[in-house]
Amino acid sequence: MPDFLQNGLITTLHDLGTADPDYLVERLEKVTKTYPLGLILPVTAGDMRAPAFEKIVEELKSVGFIDQISITLGVAPEEADYRETCEKVAPLGDKASVMWTDGPRIQGLYQELIDAGLNLSVPGKGRSAWTSFGYLLADPRLKAFVLHDCDIVNYEVEMLARLCLPMAEPSFDFEFCKAYYTRCTDRMHGRVVRLLVAPLVNALTMLLGHQEFLDYMGSFRYPLSGEFAVTSNLARSNRIPCDWGLEVGTLAEVYRNTSLKRVCQVELCQQYEHKHQSLSLDDPEKGLQKMARDILTTMFRTMASMGTVFETGDFNTLRSVYLRSAQDLVRQYHADARMNGLSFDRHSEEQAVEGFAQRIVDAGDAFQNDPAGGEAIPNWSRVITVFPDFPQRLRDAVAEDAAG
């Protein structure tokens, strides 16, 4: 069913099923001649060996509208991991490069920044994305950077085209584009978005009243999607969290650094499938429980930086309000699943909500103990001020690794 709804603070670009994929690609190949794009692929050694990554590489072989591809390899301590990654992406040709973040050259560059007092010590997707931003910033021709995960099981070039076109189309003026999609197979997925973020935003609004930032966060249909596009200028200005707060932290930085009319979200596809994290109810340091705590802490610190005052008892109240909001949503999801013939384990959903509710209290304690936090990586404007040639040195390190 076509969906024309524009009901938030940002522009929503729908997939109405009417655009020919060839039209999207042909349009991009034309407009990117004067608006070159860089693609960032953060990948771990484990994901690099999975069938999904092989399919992504195969699909990208035919793409002509991407100027450069930066594959950022993390969680790969062995040189054999790096060499295998280089072999797997060799079909992409000279436009692709592999940045081995665990290698001695990149680690040496990180240490130089750490010694200068800049926070680069925590590995993860956030640091990988940030490093690729710097690598691509060394080429002033590139106008925007596009990032997507490497565990997308049903990846197609049309997904990438839909993420790129809002940035490159000359009749648009967007500086940031966030992807959204439906997460379901025989059941609903996206538990952290459905059962934590959506009811959390509702609960914070009930507790604190309407705030533009909360309305903005509530405008995103899938705020935790791993796919987004950003202009090179905005990428230079944004700070990035190292932990699971990456997606929320990125949206917060976009809110700070650009106008809302220059922010959009685009529907990538009708169905999206990638690997699923464990709920880990018995271990708050793993899986979705760890993700939830990092997201919550990022939200609280972001709101505090915008002037919100959290009193000592607010987090217990927020937990109670969140629980009621989330439980109401579970009832709605149950009805929606039944109407669409999907399996729905209501007990499991309720257990997830109860686990996330406890993380609100944990994140509140962490926030009160350290309201400012230290997780965000400095933006590239600050780094380049101190080390003007650092992006080029990243490029040199990548080239030296490739040369052996």
DSSP states along 39-59: EEEEEEHHHHTSHHHHHHHHH
The pLDDT score that the predictor gives to residue 3 is: 78
189 DSSP 8-state letter: -
pLDDT at 243: 67
Residue 285: what pLDDT?
A: 74
Give me 3's structure tokens.
């969906």
- Burial (CB count within 10 angstroms: exposed 0-12, middle 13-18, buried 19+), residue 262: middle
**Which domains does the chain possess?**
11-399 (3.90.550.10)
pLDDT score at 221: 95
Alpha helices in 267-389 (DSSP H): 287-305, 314-339, 346-369, 380-386
Per-residue model confidence (pLDDT) at position 2: 53
- The per-residue pLDDT for 1 is 41
Closest CA relative to residue 85, chosen from 378, 74, 95: 74
Strand pairing class (263-267; 11-13): parallel
The type of residue at 97 is S
Q: At what angle do helices 125-137 and 246-257 cross, to 10 degrees?
A: 40
pLDDT value at position 244? 67
How far apart CA 321 and CA 266 sit, in angstroms, is 31
Pairing of strands 176-180, 240-241: unpaired
In 45-165, where do the E strands start and end? 68-74, 96-100, 144-147
Provide the residue-wise pLDDT of the chain in tens; the chain has 404 residues.
457 889 899 999 999 889 898 999 999 999 999 999 999 999 999 999 999 999 999 999 999 999 999 999 999 999 999 999 999 999 999 999 999 999 999 999 999 999 999 988 888 889 999 999 999 999 999 999 999 999 999 999 999 999 999 999 999 999 999 999 988 889 999 999 999 999 999 999 999 999 999 999 999 999 999 999 999 999 999 998 776 678 999 999 999 999 999 999 999 977 666 566 777 777 777 788 888 998 999 999 999 999 999 988 999 999 999 999 999 999 999 999 999 999 999 999 999 999 999 999 999 999 999 887 756 789 999 999 999 999 999 999 999 999 98
Q: Which residues pair with 68 in a beta bridge?
A: 38
Residue 312 has a pLDDT of 83
Specify the 3-state DSSP secondary structure of 16.
Answer: coil
Do residues 188 and 345 lie in contact, with contact meaning Cβ atoms separated by under 8 Å? no
Q: How far is CA 177 from the centre of its chain?
A: 11
Residues for the chain: how many in total? Answer: 404
- Tell me phi and psi for residue 38, to 5 degrees: -110, 140
The C-alpha atoms of residue 202 and residue 217 are separated, in whole angstroms, by 10
